[in-house]
Chain A
Amino acid sequence: MKKKWLNDDLNRLLAKLSKMMRLTTAFIFLAVLTVHAKSYSQQTRLSFSFQKTSIADVLSFIEEESEFYFFYKENELHADRLIDIDVAKEDIHQILDKILTGTNLGYSIIDRYVVIAPKPGENIRATGQQQPRSVAGKVTDSSGAPLPGVSVIIQGTTQGAVSDMNGNYSLTNVPGDAILLFSFVGMRSQEIPVAGKASIDVTLEEEAIGIDEVVAIGYGTIKKSDLTGSVSKVKSGEINAFPSSNLLQALSGRSSGVQVIQNTGAPGASTSIRIRGANSIQGTNEPLYVVDGFPINNPTALNNSDIESIEILKDASSTAIYGSRGANGVVLITTKRGKEGTNFVDFESSYSSQSLIRKLDLMNATEYATLYNTKAVNDGVAPYFTESEIKAFGDGFDWQDLIYGTAPILTTSLNVNGGTQKTKFSISGSVHNQDGIIKGSNYNRYSIRTNLDHQFNKKFSAVLSGTLSRLDTDRKDSGQGSRGNTLIAAQFAPPSLSPYNEDGTYSILSVVYPFVAPDLINPLNFIHEQSSTIRANVALVNAALVFTPVEDLTIRISGGVENRDDRTDSYTTRNFINSDGSASVSTSQYTSLLNENTISYRHSFNDDHQISALAGVTYQDFITTNLSGSGAGFLSDVFETYDLSASVTPGIPGSGYSKSVLLSYLGRINYSFKDKYLATASYRADGSSKFSKGSKWGYFPSAALAWRISEEDFLKDDRVISNLKLRASWGATGSQAIGPYVTLNQLSSGKTVFNDALYNSFAPGTNLPGNLKWETTKQTDFGLDMGIFENRVLITADYYIKNTEDLLNTVVLPSSLGFTRTIQNVGKVQNKGFELGLDAQLARKKDFKWNMSANISFNRNKVIKLYNGEDILTGSVNAVALQDNTRILREGRPIGQFWGYLEDGYDDKGKIKYVDLEPDGKLTSDDKTYLGDYNPDFIYGVSSNMTYKNFELNIFLQGSYGNDIFNLSAVAYAYDFVSGMNMIRDVLYDSWTPTNTDAKYPLVSRNTTVNISDRFIEDGSYLRLKNIQLAYSVPVQKLSLLRSLQVYVSGQNLLTFTGYSGWDPEVNSSGLGVDNKTYPMSKSLTFGFRARF
């Protein structure tokens, strides 16, 4: 009766709602499902009915419907005996009594574990041969950490115990010949004969890489075996394997289909991720990051050791639940939460020493003077240096040594974890202090994280996840630039000069050497006299109220806030060259409010049909405001940026505001039949304020099917294949790709001068607003998951095709229009690819274990259609001596296509000749062609994990093959003779002369010019030893306070195999394959320990 009331009530309410709501479909299915709602739970009574069903099946049914686990010996229970049973709202005791009626078996319930065994006294085993005694011991996992909650049963009896928080257990009255059965979910059970021992310590091992592990999918979790989509999981051990200044760096090479792009090596710098290639021309192509359910921009404020797991959703079936934000994939980040029955403190700390991976082989002072004298001769001017001067120079000064040094990273984190049945918590605090290898740069992150779960009663629980982070960054990563006007470009200062004058002031390079460009600034100016500090407070707080009105139905109402307050202080002292002191302060405040309301339902019918469904409505807004001020001309450096009004000329203050809103409805159904046939369908409708009226809503459906062939009878007992699943999915996802207000014809304010004063001006910008709608990516994915040899080897393979349509694309307008660009929904891009992941347990002996995993991903990117078929030239670079577009967007070619001239040796004066492809005797833009492509042919990662007794050796290799790099840095260090910069040694020894016409470099002359050509395109393939770690688990069982302790030494980026001639193949300044004088990557050596108390 109760049930019927509930359903009628809900039905009425929902029916009313449906009328009010436009999106009725989601709720209709909810209403339908609710009719079938039944209530089962551990506490509540169960109802079921079976005829002629084996006891084993009945028990396994109860296991699935409750939280109980049964332990029994099949021969004792006669588990294949068929019984008829009919229970209606009976508790576990009543049910078991029915099942065991007429047997000599009894049962006992320990926590969630039900042990069925012969009743005492009816034990057929002869007792008294050995005296019963007490047995105690400790259960640990393979890392030595204590395992609480392990059930320890005396086999064949109902007698048992559960290990406590320290992993300790004790049993009394144990027969001397008894066998103890240790079991724990997710661990391989062990049977250990007592054999008269009073103390038995046991180490439980994790089950082979489980297909039964749970993975997060959007708005829920699912057993891996039930997945229909393509989802990769990266676990905390991999994320935390070595210190990295942000979480995303730790993903590199860990999952197939995921390319991690490091834009600079600066500490704390952002990292780009491409999942299955780039879809969008206009958009960022960054995936959506979701932290504990909260979609955020960039997860850099999180501390690596707080992460439990990262799931990467790749195919459209997985990402479509994120609709308009799913096109570039979704990265779900789950932080650590407390677990019931645990209580421990983790303390980890590491110290790393970083250094430059590779110094450029620049000329010494003698070589420098010789080169520039050669240049003077070639240019017909008097030599700059006399022979005796050149001889006296020697090696001169090494500016690279001045700029780069070794730098420490210190990381410390403390995590307190615990939980009772009602309340679970995880609280952590962490500090990451990193100095950069460029002097004066650093990144410091302090964060506190709290996760709380509380169960009020059977129906209500609440969840809180919160992070507060403080990020302090001193930046010295002012790369790019030209002719030495940035710190990194200034390392090309003449080696024959030194940084200080005799009176201790900074030398002015262009004054000492008149042929040196005034842009080439003594690096000490940047190191000591210029500062840029970013301080950010980031808060990410998310809370939810979870209501379970009836078993299987969960309503979740959550709200969250992401807030980031940034302040950047930049100051140039009066001591900086040509400076009266200048200061600027800019702040920005970003706030995102989130409200998500979901209702989910899970049920199984007749044991064969499993269904779970989800529906929800979400709201998220994004508000950014900013404020900036500046001042120039200070009486003293003492003010720094803290008294702008003390400046002679305060700058014009600036401020701004933007807001966008995303409103969404979502729904998903998962269905499985007999665990063999799995289906998923999802739908999301997104409304975004960014798009034009009438085009604000986008609709994103998806569907997926999977077939677990290994559950079919013909394969069920196969000795080789332990798991085999085929998957197919299709879905549509979107990308917003534009900022707020792009569709509006706004006026921007400006200034002009009359008299000597400023007056306001208003005019539109140069981007013509367009009528815009969503960019849509349709993806088809075919996948295979296979486990062989009892899942000791797991294989995952996926093939996908992604077509992005209505591409938001820049359309170039004739510049005489005054508007130079507009954005339109035109164009198509396709990504096709293949991914393979492999996990293998090569050895699992007691003392020696060896796991290996490897992944490889191939992606092919192609522009299918552009506006009017017109090419779009992009990737504009400006190195003064070389200014042009580096890339072309053209139908049939990849997005990363480099574009320029082909070289044809040198002319008789040592100038570079170019191939006249359009033979008209002139070098025009018609002579340009394809030079290369920054997209790799494939990327890969290999990791190996060996443990021998207490030792553990991890090796992690990561690489990329077939990607091209545009080496723009080379313009500075090999061609730009006008500026008087130092150059790489080769230029002196292998430049064109009348006798060396086949030289690597053209004539050394101020008239030497270069164009974008194949000269600058290099193979960027590399293989890198990303991490190697040797760890030792200190045996600590004897100590009571310390539960486990691991010490380790590791090295990052110690070895790199590459043919690339620049600093590093992994860094490129624009993220698009251009190396332009970027903060270089570092290698490091790390010492650390991980302790659990």
Chain B
Amino acid sequence: MNKNGYLNEIRLMILPAIVVFVSMLCASCEDLLEENPKTLAVEKFYNTAEEVETAVHAVYGTLRSNTMVEQVVILDAHTDWGYGRGSRADYNNLQGFNAANINNAGSRWNMFYLAIRNANLVIQNAPGGSSISQPDIDKNVGEAKFLRAFSYFQLVRNWGAIPLRTEENMTQKDLAKSPVAAVYDLIVSDLTFAENNLPETQALVGKATKYAAKTMLADVYLTLGNYAEARDKANEVIQSGKYSLVTVSGKADFQQKLFGPEIITTPEEIFYFKYSRQAGEGNWILWVLSHPSTGNFNFGGAYAHYSDASNSFYLSWSDDDIRKSLWDKINFGLGPNTLVSSKYIDKNAVEQGRGAGNDLPVYRYADALLIYAEASCMASNGPTAEGMEALNKVRRRAWGFDPNTPSPADFEVTDYTKASFQELVLRERAYEFIFEGKRWYDLKRTGKAAEVIQPAKGITIAEKAYLWPIPVSELDYNKALDPAADQNPGY
């Protein structure tokens, strides 16, 4: 082989190698290392009405999770009538939480704050959107503020003073607790904004409306003891004429026409968390509450929360009240008086965990009526005829009568004082809102928890049980909090 031939061969063969080398070493290699995920990024979102709307949906999505069901059933174990089974017994004993239940409370805290973050992202970013109209901004921010208020209302009633995260300080890692009053100020201000910016009706059932905001505002005022405001807000809902109670004639109507899995909406619906018979999109509460032997839920059930027929709450309950029939006596090892709820039933759910179609009521018209009844009495220092009529409407329906026509079940306003009427409303609320998570709040805000629960369950509520522990995930990592001083009493 001559010199040039050899050289040519070298060139021929080495060049491809070099080309590969060089191509790898080219200036574009930094481009090779750039990441291009097939997803959206925070920085490039919240620009159009459609984008902002899907961001608002994420707040609903978070609250709709199993944790909201968990919140409801645990609140109802904190009552005169409610019990938790096994590891959940600590909830009904009201002596404070064990380690597992502390963790569980922490995960609900996390969920509410996650909803608040998602709401804050909307409140912060929607106004700066590049192609979104002012009405769309107002409507979506209104929904976000409504849901933020909802979350804080749940937080403040169970944990007391808490870090108050708004769009202003949402990225500030360490944030001190705000006093309860400041939390309520934000709730009232958010709901007022929502009341003024949300439409009277939404095209999609399940989205917050002007009247949902008014009802929650009434509830907030009632909780704060601002009875006149509570009465007025509730009355605005009543006077709107948009809502009415669903008439029932028996247990099955309650199960199907009021809380049934196939209902899209009812005239009674003010604000519900909506579920659908889709795998992963249904209501978990049926699994939590049902017992397999009833067949009320086609995937059995865990009957983790129950009641007891020997409890004075149940014993004093009139058998004529149809709502009382929404309990089945089932002995699953705790004796023959054990009661399992049959309020929520779905025999055609699609899966065990989240496959039932029943919605989870947050505010029903019955709530507006009963808030009005109580607030009008408290504001006027005595029961009013309008208040009594509102109460009677709820009672009549529950007894199977036409809600709008006087019935044998009616109470007479003249039989009641301010105090006894409030008692009466609270009792009616207890019957009406079983497994809707309202009783403990009612007992706490009226200061009646100890006196009601002691005779029913025979326990003295520990002081620490009035507030849930602030989770370690907050205390240990929020450097603005002192793990000892800022923890709720008793933990």
Binding site for B on A (CB under 8 A): 1-2, 5-6, 9-10, 13, 17, 20-23, 381-382, 384, 459-460, 508, 510-511, 514-515, 517-519, 547, 549, 555, 557, 577-580, 582, 595, 597, 617, 619, 630, 632-633, 648-649, 651-652, 657-661, 663, 687-690, 696, 740-741, 743-748, 750-764, 766, 812-820, 870-871, 873, 880-884, 924-925, 978-980, 1006-1007, 1009, 1011-1012
From residue B109, how far is it (CB to closest CB) to chain A in Å?
6
Contact with A along B112-127 (1 / 0, CB 8 A): 0110111011000000
- B264-A17 in contact (CB<8A): no
- Could you list 16 A-B pairs, sorted by A, with CB under 8 Å? A381-B333, A510-B332, A511-B293, A549-B13, A660-B35, A687-B33, A752-B57, A755-B206, A762-B45, A762-B51, A762-B54, A763-B59, A763-B62, A766-B110, A818-B170, A881-B86
Known A-B contacts A751-B281, A760-B54; A883 and B100 likewise in contact (beta carbons under 8 Å): yes
Q: How far is the CA of A883 from the CA of B10 in the complex (A)?
A: 69
Across the interface, B279 reaches (CB within 8 A) one of A9, A518, A579, A630, namely: A630
- B37-A741 in contact (CB<8A): yes
Q: How far is the CA of A705 from the CA of B173 in the complex (A)?
A: 49
Q: How far is the CA of A597 from the CA of B18 in the complex (A)?
A: 9
Known A-B contacts A17-B18, A820-B110; A687 and B61 likewise in contact (beta carbons under 8 Å): no
Q: Which of B382-398 contact A (CB under 8 A)?
A: none
Q: How far is the CA of A663 from the CA of B35 in the complex (A)?
A: 13
- B25-A617 in contact (CB<8A): yes
Known A-B contacts A578-B298, A633-B350, A689-B33; A649 and B279 likewise in contact (beta carbons under 8 Å): yes
Query: Cβ of B60 < 8 Å from any Cβ of A?
Result: yes
Contact with A along B1-32 (1 / 0, CB 8 A): 00100110111011011101110110001101
Across the interface, A884 reaches (CB within 8 A) one of B16, B100, B301, B351, namely: B100
Q: How far is the CA of A514 from the CA of B299 in the complex (A)?
A: 17
From residue B417, how far is it (CB to closest CB) to chain A in Å?
41
- A597-B35 in contact (CB<8A): no
Known A-B contacts A759-B204, A760-B54, A883-B100; A818 and B33 likewise in contact (beta carbons under 8 Å): no
Query: Cβ of B473 < 8 Å from any Cβ of A?
Result: yes
Query: Cβ of B376 < 8 Å from any Cβ of A?
Result: no
Query: Cβ of B485 < 8 Å from any Cβ of A?
Result: no
Q: How far is the CA of A20 from the CA of B6 in the complex (A)?
A: 27
- B87-A381 in contact (CB<8A): no
Among B133-141, B179-187, B229-237, B474-482, which stretch is in contact with chain A? Answer: B474-482
From residue B192, how far is it (CB to closest CB) to chain A in Å?
24
A contact residues around B3 at 8 Å (CB): 1-2, 5
Q: How far is the CA of A763 from the CA of B302 in the complex (A)?
A: 32
Query: Cβ of B357 < 8 Å from any Cβ of A?
Result: yes
- B332-A632 in contact (CB<8A): no
Across the interface, A632 reaches (CB within 8 A) one of B109, B279, B478, B491, namely: B279
Q: How far is the CA of A465 from the CA of B424 in the complex (A)?
A: 84
- B21-A597 in contact (CB<8A): yes
- A763-B55 in contact (CB<8A): yes
Known A-B contacts A511-B293, A617-B21, A756-B264; A812 and B61 likewise in contact (beta carbons under 8 Å): no
- B163-A508 in contact (CB<8A): no
Q: How far is the CA of A311 from the CA of B300 in the complex (A)?
A: 54
**Given A763-B58, A816-B162, 6 further pairs, Cβ under 8 A:** A514-B331, A547-B17, A597-B24, A741-B35, A747-B40, A762-B58
- A6-B473 in contact (CB<8A): no
Q: How large is the interface on B (under 10, 10 to 19, 20 to 34, 35 or more residues)?
A: 35 or more
- A816-B478 in contact (CB<8A): yes
- B32-A689 in contact (CB<8A): yes
B contact residues around A660 at 8 Å (CB): 35
A contact residues around B452 at 8 Å (CB): none
Query: Cβ of B214 < 8 Å from any Cβ of A?
Result: no
Known A-B contacts A649-B277, A820-B473; A814 and B114 likewise in contact (beta carbons under 8 Å): no
From residue A890, how far is it (CB to closest CB) to chain B in Å?
13
Across the interface, A515 reaches (CB within 8 A) one of B32, B301, B333, B357, namely: B333
Across the interface, B355 reaches (CB within 8 A) one of A5, A384, A632, A751, namely: A632
B contact residues around A1012 at 8 Å (CB): 99
- A1009-B87 in contact (CB<8A): yes
From residue A436, how far is it (CB to closest CB) to chain B in Å?
26
B contact residues around A580 at 8 Å (CB): 298, 350
From residue B218, how far is it (CB to closest CB) to chain A in Å?
24
Known A-B contacts A17-B21, A817-B173, A924-B491; A870 and B476 likewise in contact (beta carbons under 8 Å): yes
The residue on A at minimum CB distance from B298 is: A578
Q: How far is the CA of A434 from the CA of B19 in the complex (A)?
A: 48
- A818-B39 in contact (CB<8A): no
Query: Cβ of B400 < 8 Å from any Cβ of A?
Result: no
From residue A762, how far is it (CB to closest CB) to chain B in Å?
5
- A689-B110 in contact (CB<8A): no
- A690-B302 in contact (CB<8A): no
- B206-A746 in contact (CB<8A): no
Residue among B35, B55, B121 facing the most chain A CB atoms (10 A cut-off): B35
Query: Cβ of B309 < 8 Å from any Cβ of A?
Result: no
The residue on B at minimum CB distance from A880 is: B87
From residue A21, how far is it (CB to closest CB) to chain B in Å?
5
Known A-B contacts A518-B301, A518-B303, A814-B175; A758 and B276 likewise in contact (beta carbons under 8 Å): yes
The residue on B at minimum CB distance from A549 is: B10
From residue A457, how far is it (CB to closest CB) to chain B in Å?
10
Contact with A along B290-316 (1 / 0, CB 8 A): 011100001111110000000000000
Residue among A547, A580, A582, A761 facing the most chain B CB atoms (10 A cut-off): A761
The residue on A at minimum CB distance from B265 is: A755
Query: Cβ of B106 < 8 Å from any Cβ of A?
Result: yes
From residue A824, how far is it (CB to closest CB) to chain B in Å?
12
Known A-B contacts A518-B300, A578-B292; A752 and B64 likewise in contact (beta carbons under 8 Å): yes
- A978-B86 in contact (CB<8A): yes
Across the interface, A761 reaches (CB within 8 A) one of B54, B114, B292, namely: B54
Query: Cβ of B361 < 8 Å from any Cβ of A?
Result: no
A contact residues around B82 at 8 Å (CB): none
The residue on A at minimum CB distance from B335 is: A381
From residue B54, how far is it (CB to closest CB) to chain A in Å?
5
- B58-A555 in contact (CB<8A): no
From residue A978, how far is it (CB to closest CB) to chain B in Å?
4
B contact residues around A979 at 8 Å (CB): 86
- B350-A649 in contact (CB<8A): yes
- A755-B351 in contact (CB<8A): no
Q: Which of B340-369 contact A (CB under 8 A)?
A: 350-352, 355, 357
- B474-A815 in contact (CB<8A): yes
Q: How far is the CA of A474 from the CA of B217 in the complex (A)?
A: 56
The residue on A at minimum CB distance from B62 is: A763
For the complex of A and B, the 7 pairs showing the least CB-CB separation, nearest first, are: A818-B117, A515-B333, A763-B58, A814-B478, A761-B57, A754-B204, A978-B86
A contact residues around B206 at 8 Å (CB): 753-755
The residue on B at minimum CB distance from A928 is: B99
Query: Cβ of B98 < 8 Å from any Cβ of A?
Result: yes
- A925-B474 in contact (CB<8A): no
- B117-A510 in contact (CB<8A): no
From residue A902, how far is it (CB to closest CB) to chain B in Å?
15
The residue on B at minimum CB distance from A976 is: B86
- A748-B13 in contact (CB<8A): no
- B292-A508 in contact (CB<8A): yes
- A816-B474 in contact (CB<8A): yes
A contact residues around B104 at 8 Å (CB): 883
Known A-B contacts A632-B279, A651-B280, A759-B204; A557 and B472 likewise in contact (beta carbons under 8 Å): no
Q: How far is the CA of A354 from the CA of B29 in the complex (A)?
A: 53
Residue among A661, A759, A871 facing the most chain B CB atoms (10 A cut-off): A759
A contact residues around B279 at 8 Å (CB): 582, 630, 632, 649, 651-652
From residue B439, how far is it (CB to closest CB) to chain A in Å?
25
- B350-A815 in contact (CB<8A): no
From residue B463, how far is it (CB to closest CB) to chain A in Å?
13
A contact residues around B36 at 8 Å (CB): 659
From residue A903, how far is it (CB to closest CB) to chain B in Å?
15
A contact residues around B30 at 8 Å (CB): 687, 696
- A756-B276 in contact (CB<8A): yes
B contact residues around A743 at 8 Å (CB): 35
- B98-A661 in contact (CB<8A): no
